[in-house]
Amino acid sequence: MPAITVRNLSPETHRALKARAASHGRSTEAEVRSILDDAVNDGPRLGSLLVDISRDAGGFELEIERDRTPREPIDFA
């Protein structure tokens, strides 16, 4: 599993992290993981943004016809 090291963390920040972790009933390391997970997973996803944009534009219809032409098998030799 990947790991990171945070250097030069101020004593005040370290104390605040420890206090925050204690208030949530977990270790400081688990608290930092939670903070990082929330930071990178927060916000809407690309698909949701695209749906919102299409709704704002009045929507649109796609007429997609699948190409059913048989393909030759791939020769892995």
- Chunk the chain into consecutive blocks of 10 residues (it has 77) and report each block's average pLDDT, rounded to whole numbers: 92 96 96 91 81 83 87 85
**So what's the pLDDT on residue 21?**
96
Q: What are the extents of the domains in the chain? A: 11-56
Q: What's the topology of domain 11-56? A: Arc Repressor Mutant (1.10.1220)
Q: Which of 28, 26, 37 is CA-nearest to residue 2? A: 37
- d(Cα 2, Cα 22) in Å, to the nearest integer? 24
The pLDDT, as a whole number, for residue 59 is 76
